[in-house]
């Protein structure tokens, strides 16, 4: 399984879109890895012992406002996407306005007629979207209840549900985030060679979630670290992140080559990339960056590279 991090920032972006504090100015003037866009992950599943599936089987996790630029920058074909997993409804993770442009024109043609307007004139595969009731409500406010003209199908899921997204088996577990307002979700994704947890947004795992996680052995665990060296609720900081990493290892929930990756960094609590990387290295935690790509699984090397 190949993991491509299209974005690794918390909601305010990194540097903060409207902030000129010392931390944000440092990020603007720093290296490319210091500049991050909203967190999202692109998964290409394994097809067998030593090969990957075609992009038609890829899975995207979350759909932030910058997704069009992220896809172009990191070589992702959104038009071919068939599976989208949504963690929750917050605007830095879910921006369905861009799905308006999937609406079919009256004529399907590679050479659009000059007398008909329309967002798109070519056929698209159906995009299956999986998420909670709050995500569905935001989608319906944007597009209405009839998704057929957009070639979309929505699947409302709940913590504990398991389903298939093409070549990927998915289990949803409850996230400790915005509890009481919506059922935010983490996702366990499995193909023929690897098992991966995408654990954001959320603070320390709930007890019911820990019980479910104990049923798996992970090749990669991706966790958020929004508050970094600071404090705050609803998200992890570095202290809670390292405690969770210790828990996975103490419970023997990682495979022999299993890795833990941090993402979802706030510029006001997490230092520039090199410093964050240096801070997390002694805990054997990888600090992700926008464009980082890792292959995990029984024959994956777990080596980091840049997708561009």
DSSP string, 97-112: GGGGGGPBPSS--SS-
Structural domain spans, the chain: 2-300
| pLDDT, position 50 | 54
| pLDDT, position 51 | 58
| pLDDT, position 113 | 82
Task: Assess contact for 209 and 235: CB atoms under 8 A.
Answer: no
For residues 200 and 225, what is the distance between their CA atoms, to the nearest angstrom? 9
Task: Assess contact for 270 and 163: CB atoms under 8 A.
Answer: no
Q: Is the dihedral of CA 105, 107, 110, 115 positive or negative?
A: negative
Q: Quote the pTM value.
A: 0.94
* Residue 241 main-chain phi, psi, to 5 deg: -60, -50
| pLDDT, position 49 | 55
* Residue 85 main-chain phi, psi, to 5 deg: -100, 125
For residues 63 and 96, what is the distance between their CA atoms, to the nearest angstrom? 8
| pLDDT, position 305 | 65
| pLDDT, position 143 | 98
Mean pLDDT by 10 residues, the chain (308 residues): 97 96 93 97 82 79 98 95 98 98 88 83 95 98 97 98 97 96 98 96 97 98 96 92 98 97 97 96 98 84 58
Task: Assess contact for 58 and 83: CB atoms under 8 A.
Answer: yes
Which DSSP letter does residue 146 get?
-
For residue 269, give Cα distances in angstroms to 1, 28, 266: 31, 16, 6
Give me the architecture of the 2-300 domain, per CATH.
4-Layer Sandwich (3.60)
For residue 162, with 0-12 CB atoms within 10 Å meaning exposed, 13-18 middle and 19 or more buried, which class applies?
A: exposed
Scanning the chain, the segments in alpha helix (DSSP H) are 22-29, 67-73, 133-143, 207-213, 238-250, 273-280
């Amino acid at each position: 399984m190949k993991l491509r991090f299209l974005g690794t920032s918390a909601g305010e972006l990194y540097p903060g879109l409207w902030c000129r504090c010392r931390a944000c100015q440092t990020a603007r003037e720093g290296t490319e890895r210091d500049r991050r866009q909203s967190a999202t992950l692109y998964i290409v599943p394994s097809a067998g012992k030593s090969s990957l599936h075609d992009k038609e089987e890829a899975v995207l996790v979350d759909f932030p406002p910058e997704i069009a630029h992220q896809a172009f920058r990191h070589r992702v074909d959104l038009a071919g996407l068939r599976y989208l997993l949504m963690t929750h409804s917050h605007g830095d993770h879910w921006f369905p306005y861009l799905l308006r442009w999937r609406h079919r024109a009256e004529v399907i043609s590679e050479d659009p007629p000059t007398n008909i307007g329309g967002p798109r004139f070519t056929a698209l595969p159906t995009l299956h979207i999986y998420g909670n009731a709050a995500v569905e409500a935001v989608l319906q406010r944007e597009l209405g209840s009839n998704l057929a003209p957009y070639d979309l199908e929505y699947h409302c899921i709940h913590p504990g549900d398991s389903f298939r997204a093409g070549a990927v088996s998915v289990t949803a577990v409850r996230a400790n985030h915005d509890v009481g307002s919506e059922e935010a979700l983490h996702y366990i994704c499995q193909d023929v060679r690897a098992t991966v947890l995408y654990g954001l947004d959320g603070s320390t795992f709930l007890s019911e979630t820990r019980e479910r996680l104990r049923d798996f052995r992970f090749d990669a665990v991706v966790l958020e670290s929004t508050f970094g060296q600071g404090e705050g609720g609803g998200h992890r900081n570095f202290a809670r992140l390292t405690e969770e990493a210790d828990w996975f290892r103490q419970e023997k929930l990682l495979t022999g080559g299993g890795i833990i990756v941090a993402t979802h960094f706030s510029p006001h609590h997490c230092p520039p990339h090199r410093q964050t990387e240096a801070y997390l290295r002694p805990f054997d935690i990888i600090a992700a960056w926008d464009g980082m790509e890792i292959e995990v699984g029984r024959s994956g090397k777990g080596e980091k590279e840049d997708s561009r």
